[in-house]
Amino acid sequence: MNNYYLDFEKPVKDLDNQILELESSKDLNQVDIKKLNQLKAKRIVEIENIYSGLSRWQRVQLARHPNRPYSLDYINYFSPDFIELHGDRHFMDDPAVVAGLGHFGDQKIAWIGQQKGRNTKENLYRNFGMMNPEGYRKARRVMKLAEKFGLPVITFLDTIGAYPGIGAEERGQGEAIARNLLEMSGLRVPIISVVIGEGASGGALGIGVCDRMLMLENTWYSVISPEGCASILFRDAKRAEDAAEALKPTPNDLVKIGICNRIINEPNGGAHRDFIASANELKTALQEELNQLSTINPDDFLDNRIERYDKLGYFQESI
């Protein structure tokens, strides 16, 4: 059973507790077995009802669920021979991002993903998925290695933003992100970015310039978090729900304006309730996208990306 529940999941929590209580009983009679089956059937219906009508804020909360699969979960599942590469060749290694090489079926891939932790100790080690400048430089080093050997790049986005600490600024946080935007724009190999949780600000964009943007169903991608937006616009971070509605950061919203190219369906209740099903759905989509991108001439990637991002910034003058 899932041991962490969001506020809107309380009905599921109550049913799970009843099911667990019955299952832990040593002697189940026919009446108990019948009740257990009824509770399980009711639980399925309850989950379908809850997750068929999620608000934007609820999807933001779900994207932050501590049991959601992280980058390494997907990378290790897709690429059992994954070899992680460390360090930026300038200062140090950044555990907030994992990067390396491995096979995806018969094809070699450069994998890059922002990585959070499962508990306090892991989160401190991973810096809660907030990358330092050396993380962006490590990612760029692996991307240039991929370009050298003609390997596609797949990145997983899952961060609340780049690390805003004094040390990070002193070591060139802004420059590191800007350099990645420049280098990724002209990379002569396919780039696919997948939002698997949170995609916030330049922290996500620093490894998110791509040919195809995929988003899992219960994720978000925006220039700022709802709490940050609420603090600025409303002077009250508690109005994050209102900010989420205004930002429109969910996959359905972003498909309409051309940022997201494809939404990956998740099992009822979210990817954390059935990782294998969610991963296989994403695997199929990645294989299809790679097959399409493999037909593009390497000399055309820059022009294609310029065209892609030019479409996102337009305005109309009203008379």
pLDDT digits (tens, 9 = 90+) for 222-268: 999 999 999 999 999 999 999 999 999 999 999 999 999 999 999 98
In a domain, 116, yes or no: yes
154 and 219 belong to one structural domain: yes
285 and 233 belong to one structural domain: yes
pLDDT of residue 193: 98
171 and 154 belong to one structural domain: yes
Instruction: Please compute the mean of the pLDDT values over residues 84-89 and round it to a whole number.
Output: 96
Check residues 142 and 17 and name the one with the higher pLDDT: 142
Q: How many domains does the chain have?
A: 2
Domain that holds residue 44: 7-53
27 and 139 belong to one structural domain: no
Where residue 226 sits, what CATH number does that domain have? Answer: 3.90.226.10
Which residues touch 23 (CB under 8 Å, ≥6 apart)?
Answer: 36
Check residues 319 and 36 and name the one with the higher pLDDT: 36
38 and 67 belong to one structural domain: no
247 and 268 belong to one structural domain: yes
pTM: 0.92
Determine contact, residues 101/108, Cβ cutoff 8 Å: yes
80 and 43 belong to one structural domain: no
* pLDDT reading at 22 higher than 90: no
* pLDDT reading at 308 higher than 50: yes
- Please give the structure tokens belonging to residue 271: 């990817």
pLDDT band at 1 (very low <50, low <70, confident <90, very high): very low
Instruction: Check the CA dihedral 111-112-114-116 and report its sign.
Output: positive
Determine contact, residues 242/234, Cβ cutoff 8 Å: yes
146 and 14 belong to one structural domain: no
pLDDT of residue 314: 64
Q: DSSP letters of 146-196?
A: HHHTT--EEEEEEES-S---HHHHHTTHHHHHHHHHHHHHT-SS-EEEEEE
176 and 133 belong to one structural domain: yes
Characterize 207-227 residue by residue with b for buried, 16 or more Cβ atoms within 10 angstroms of its Cβ, and e for exposed: bbbbbbbbbbbbbbbbebbbb
Which residues touch 182 (CB under 8 Å, ≥6 apart)?
Answer: none
Determine contact, residues 96/137, Cβ cutoff 8 Å: no
In a domain, 319, yes or no: no
146 and 198 belong to one structural domain: yes
Instruction: Please compute the mean of the pLDDT values over residues 200-218 and round it to a whole number.
Output: 96
In a domain, 221, yes or no: yes
